[in-house]
């Protein structure tokens, strides 16, 4: 293929993959709405909808520059508003510009930005589920902005932007973002859920635990299927090149891990909880997807199945431990899916990588680098997002009033309901006594009951 | 005149309605209700925690009939609403003092 055609094909692939990842916003929205109560549906939908708009602006203004602009080992220091020298799609030695960390992919800068943006948006949307049904809308918006403008890009710079984790003698490996996207979102979700506290009545003073069933399992299921589809952009797209062998390998690894996660979560909940809980089946599928995200390019098919299977078991155990032992209220299981399995999937690269994996005789070097990356990014995001949540708590406030939480955030935050009862017809429209009677008499009897 | 209020399983509403129509009932009112009997609801699980459903969905049928139709109607309801399992419901019978048909002004049994 000549150079121009190569650029066109790679760009098409990157943009199509980005569109699939964009569509994951719909998946997250449906999943979270379904697993929350009807009285909060408008609020959940609004959060999931605006979060991508917030991310788009935040990532453009500073996020992308902090993540991929040339700088030091800890942060990018140029490229605000996507400004600066750049001769993409030139690659490697031929590249001159300020986004050197992305000089390996031969697509225009705008394609690089668009693809990275939908990833940043995903990290932000993960937080939404864990803080659902009690967070103030405005505080969620502000937190999302800070997450995508600063927290995600700095962590991302360390791993993907040529930062210190990428410069380790055995570089930290996270192909599509088990850590960079999912754990970062997961750590932010965990700190948010902790600082907010549980939903009212979720944990009784006597130690009792009150489950809060989701109001629409059909939406939750649809949302999860959309996410599964979106992952075929998320992982295979991270090649950022139409590399036939690699994108198909990654797609297949991704699918098999999801399948294994789904089945093992089904089995685990069947055995441990006596019945195969659908919400666990959905979480298990996502857990498999999150876990394979880091290593989908680096492991064989059988390893992908094992990684997904472990994820399916882990997620069910994590949901139960987090909900019932730690008493951290996470309505959709975001922490169990994205944080626990983001960590597992990142670690699994060290264990299962075809080249250098511990279990494949490659020694411990890769595993050590993975652990360093997991811990460093965990510490960064845990500390900074805790600080941001606490600052918001002291200023705007992060929690709606008890009264509002009881009535539902739909009326409290938005003044509307997702499922309003039908209004009675306006008074003027009712037939006046005399003419109304005549009309009724004229109709066939059956119509009047 | 008597009013029969019966609480039945929602899925048997059609069968009960048909049985009542067959014995000559000309009108009835149906409401979706919730309630509990001696077993006091049941438990479900969600993500590993059990919770109690205190009130189960039922349907309430209200029908006002002439006194002489009472036994026939009770019989019709009991036969069609019964499955033999817990939660089949109840039939309550109440006296009715007066009925007015709003359109015509008729009163008493004529108004039924
Ligand atoms: N004493 C009552 N007063 C008002 N409603 C009642 C009464 N008993 C039952 N109901 C209504 O009838 C529904 C069905 O009751 P149910 O058949 O379970 O009664 P039960 O006494 O428990 O009989 P069974 O042992 O057959 O279940 C209840 O959900 C409730 O709505
Ligand atoms: Mg009963």
Per residue in A48-61, pLDDT (tens digit) is: 999 999 999 999 99
Q: What is the pLDDT of residue A422?
A: 80
CA distance A211 to A369: 39
Which ligand 1 atom lies nearest to the CA of residue B34?
A: 31
Tell me what the mean pLDDT of segment A345-354 comes to: 98
Tell me what the mean pLDDT of segment A322-333 comes to: 97
Give the distance from residue B10's alpha carbon to the nearest chain A alpha carbon, in angstroms: 21
Which residue of B27, B32, B47, B50 to mutate against A (max A Cβ within 10 Å)?
B47
From chain A, pick out residues whose CB is under 8 angstroms from the CB of B51.
Answer: 210-211, 213
* Structural domain contains residue A372: yes
* Structural domain contains residue A212: yes
**Residues in the ligand 1 pocket, defined by CB under 6 Å:** B 7, 33, 35-39, 56, 58, 86-90
Is residue A433 pLDDT above 90, yes or no? no
Query: Of the candidates B27, B48, B51, which has its C-beta nearest A273's C-beta?
Result: B48
The best mutation among B30, B37, B59 to test binding of ligand 1, ranked by most ligand atoms within 8 Å of the C-beta, falls on B37
Looking at all shown ligands, the one closest to residue B6's CA atom is 1
Alpha carbons within 13 A on the beta-carbon side of A207: 1
* CATH number of the domain to which A172 belongs: 1.10.3430.10
Q: What residue owns the CA closest to ligand 1's atom 2?
A: B37
Percent of chain A with pLDDT over 90: 92
Which has the closest alpha carbon to A250: A241, A343, A113? Answer: A241
Banded model confidence at residue A67, pLDDT cuts 50, 70, 90: very high
- HEC assignment per residue over chain A: CCHHHHHHHHHHHHHHHHHHHHHHHHHHHHHHHHHCCHHHHHHHHHHHHHHHHHHHHHHHHHHHHHHHCCECCCCECCCHHHCCCECCCCCHHHCCECCHHHCCCCCCHHHHHHHHHHHHHHHHHHHHHHCCCCECHHHHHHHHHHHHHHHHHHHHHHHHCCCCCCCCCCCCCCCCCHHHHHHHHHHHHHHHHHHHCCCCCCECCCCCECCCCCCCHHHHHHHHHHHHHHHHHHCHHHHCCCCHHHHHHHHHHHHHHHHHHHHHHHHHHHHHHCCCCHHHHHHHHHHHHHHHHCCCCCCCHHHHHHHHHHHHHHHHHHHHHHHHHCCCCCCCCHHHHHHHHHHHHHHHHHHHCCCCCHHHCCCCHHHHHHHHHHHHHHHHHHHHHHHHHHHHHHCCCCECCHHHHHHCHHHHHHCCCCCCCCCCCCHHHCCCHHHHHHHHHHCCHHHHC
Q: CB neighbours of A429 closer than 8 A, spacing ≥ 6? A: none
Give the distance from residue A325's alpha carbon to the nearest chain B alpha carbon, in angstroms: 12
Query: How far, in Å, is the centroid of ligand 2 from the Cα of B33?
Result: 15
The best mutation among B8, B10, B84, B89 to test binding of ligand 1, ranked by most ligand atoms within 8 Å of the C-beta, falls on B89
* Structural domain contains residue A305: yes
Q: CB neighbours of A420 closer than 8 A, spacing ≥ 6? A: none
Q: Do the Cβ atoms of A120 and A160 come closer than 8 Å?
A: no
Is residue A444 pLDDT above 60, yes or no? no
pLDDT tens digits along A12-35: 999 999 999 999 999 999 999 999
The pair phi, psi for residue A418, each rounded to 5°, is -75, -35
* Structural domain contains residue A57: yes
Report chain B residues touching chain A, CB-CB < 8 A. Answer: 27, 44-51
* Structural domain contains residue A448: no
Q: What is the pLDDT of residue A441?
A: 45
Do A319 and B50 make contact, defined as CB atoms within 8 angstroms? Answer: no
Tokens describing residue B27? 């009108």
Residues of chain B predicted below pLDDT 50 = none
* Structural domain contains residue A145: yes
Q: CB neighbours of A149 closer than 8 A, spacing ≥ 6? A: A58, A59, A61, A62, A63, A66
CA distance A224 to A334: 13
Q: Do the Cβ atoms of A252 and A236 come closer than 8 Å?
A: no
pLDDT tens digits along A280-304: 999 999 999 999 999 999 999 999 9
Do B46 and A280 make contact, defined as CB atoms within 8 angstroms? Answer: no
Smallest CA–CA distance from A317 into chain B, residue = B48
Which ligand 1 atom lies nearest to the CA of residue B39?
A: 22
CA distance B26 to B110: 12
Which ligand 1 atom lies nearest to the CA of residue B88?
A: 17
Mean pLDDT of chain A: 94
First-to-final CA distance of chain A: 75
Smallest CA–CA distance from A272 into chain B, residue = B48
Report the DSSP beta bridge partners of residue B4: B63, B93
Q: CB neighbours of A437 closer than 8 A, spacing ≥ 6? A: none
Which residue of B21, B28, B48 to mutate against A (max A Cβ within 10 Å)?
B48
Q: What is the pLDDT of residue A429?
A: 55
Is residue A139 pLDDT above 50, yes or no? yes
Q: What is the pLDDT of residue A430?
A: 53
From chain A, pick out residues whose CB is under 8 angstroms from the CB of B27.
Answer: 449
Tell me what the mean pLDDT of segment A247-274 comes to: 97
Q: Nearest 10 degrees: CA dihedral of A103, A184, A333, A280?
A: 40
* Structural domain contains residue A439: no
ipTM > 0.90, yes or no = no
Tokens describing residue B1? 């005149």
Domain extent, residue A139, equals 3-77+96-410
Query: How far, in Å, is the centroid of ligand 1 from the Cα of B57?
Result: 11
Q: What is the pLDDT of residue B42?
A: 86
**Domain count of chain A?**
1
Tell me what the mean pLDDT of segment A406-418 comes to: 96
The pair phi, psi for residue A330, each rounded to 5°, is -130, 90
Query: Of the candidates A210, A214, A319, which has its C-beta nearest B48's C-beta?
Result: A319
Which ligand 1 atom lies nearest to the CA of residue B36?
A: 29
Give the distance from residue A60's alpha carbon to the nearest chain B alpha carbon, in angstroms: 39
Do A210 and B49 make contact, defined as CB atoms within 8 angstroms? Answer: yes
Burial classification of residue B103, based on how many CB atoms lie within 10 Å of its CB (0-12 exposed, 13-18 middle, 19 or more buried): exposed
Report the DSSP beta bridge partners of residue B93: B4
Phi-psi region of A214 (alpha: psi -120 to 50; beta: other; left: phi over 0): beta
Q: CB neighbours of A166 closer than 8 A, spacing ≥ 6? A: A101, A158, A159, A160, A172
Distances (CA, A) of A341 to A29, A84, A290, A301, A394: 20, 37, 6, 18, 32
CA distance A319 to A309: 16
Q: Do the Cβ atoms of A272 and A316 come closer than 8 Å?
A: yes
Banded model confidence at residue A427, pLDDT cuts 50, 70, 90: low
* Structural domain contains residue A82: no
Which has the closest alpha carbon to A181: A227, A133, A132? Answer: A227
From chain A, pick out residues whose CB is under 8 angstroms from the CB of B49.
Answer: 209-211, 323-324
Q: Could you tell me if A280 lies within 8 Å of chain B, comparing CB atoms?
A: yes
Is residue A43 pLDDT above 90, yes or no? yes
The SS3 call for residue B8 is strand
pLDDT tens digits along A87-120: 999 999 999 999 999 999 999 999 999 999 999 9
Tell me what the mean pLDDT of segment A176-205 comes to: 97
Q: What residue owns the CA closest to ligand 1's atom 5?
A: B35
């Amino acid at each position: 293929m000549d150079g121009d055609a190569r650029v066109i094909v790679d760009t098409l692939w990157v943009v199509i993959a980005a569109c699939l990842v964009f569509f994951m916003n719909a998946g997250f929205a449906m999943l979270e709405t379904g697993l929350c109560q009807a009285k909060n549906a408008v609020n959940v939908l609004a959060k999931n909808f605006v979060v991508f708009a917030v991310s788009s602006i935040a990532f453009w203004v500073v996020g992308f520059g902090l993540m991929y602009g040339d700088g030091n080992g800890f942060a990018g220091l140029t490229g605000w508003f996507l400004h600066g020298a750049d001769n993409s799609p030139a690659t490697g030695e031929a590249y001159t510009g300020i986004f050197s960390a992305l000089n390996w992919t031969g697509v225009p800068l705008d394609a690089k930005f668009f693809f990275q943006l939908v990833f940043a948006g995903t990290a932000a949307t993960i937080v939404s589920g864990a803080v659902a049904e009690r967070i103030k809308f405005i505080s969620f918006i502000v937190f999302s902005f800070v997450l995508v403008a600063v927290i995600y890009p700095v962590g991302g710079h360390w791993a993907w932007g040529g930062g210190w984790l990428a410069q380790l003698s055995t570089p930290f490996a996270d192909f599509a973002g088990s850590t960079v996207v999912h754990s970062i979102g997961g750590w932010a979700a965990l700190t948010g859920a902790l600082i907010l506290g549980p939903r009212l009545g979720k944990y009784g003073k006597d130690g009792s635990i009150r489950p809060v069933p989701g109001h629409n399992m059909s939406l939750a299921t649809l949302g999860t299927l959309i996410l599964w589809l979106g992952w075929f952009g998320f992982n295979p797209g991270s090649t950022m090149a139409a590399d036939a062998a690699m994108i198909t390998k990654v797609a297949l690894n991704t699918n098999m891990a999801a399948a294994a996660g789904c089945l093992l979560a089904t089995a685990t909940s069947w055995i441990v909880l006596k019945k195969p809980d659908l919400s666990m089946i959905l979480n298990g599928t996502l857990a498999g997807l999150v876990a394979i995200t880091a290593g989908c390019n680096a492991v064989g098919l059988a390893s992908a199945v094992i990684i997904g299977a472990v994820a399916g078991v882990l997620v069910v155990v994590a949901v139960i431990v987090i909900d019932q032992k730690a008493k951290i209220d996470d309505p959709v299981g975001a922490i169990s899916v994205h944080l626990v399995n983001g960590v597992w999937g990142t670690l699994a690269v060290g264990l299962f990588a075809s080249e250098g994996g511990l279990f494949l005789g490659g020694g411990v070097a890769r595993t050590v680098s993975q652990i360093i990356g997991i811990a460093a990014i965990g510490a960064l995001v845990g500390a900074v997002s805790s600080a941001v949540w606490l600052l918001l708590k002291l200023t705007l406030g992060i929690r709606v009033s008890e009264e509002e939480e009881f009535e539902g955030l739909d009326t409290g935050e938005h003044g509307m309901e997702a499922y309003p009862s039908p209004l009675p017809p306006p008074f003027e429209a009712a037939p006046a006594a005399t003419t109304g009677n005549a009309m009724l008499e004229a109709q066939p009897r059956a119509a009047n009951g | 005149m008597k009013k029969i209020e019966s609480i039945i399983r929602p899925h048997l509403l059609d069968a009960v309605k048909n049985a009542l129509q067959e014995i000559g009932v000309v009108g009835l009112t149906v409401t979706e209700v919730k309630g509990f009997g001696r077993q006091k609801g049941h438990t479900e699980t969600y993500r590993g925690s059990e919770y109690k459903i205190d009130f189960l969905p039922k349907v309430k049928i209200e029908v006002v009939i002439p006194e002489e139709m009472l036994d026939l109607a009770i019989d019709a309801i009991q036969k069609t609403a019964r499955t033999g399992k817990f939660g089949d419901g109840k039939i309550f019978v109440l006296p009715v003092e007066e009925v007015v048909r709003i359109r015509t002004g008729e009163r008493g049994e004529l108004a039924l």
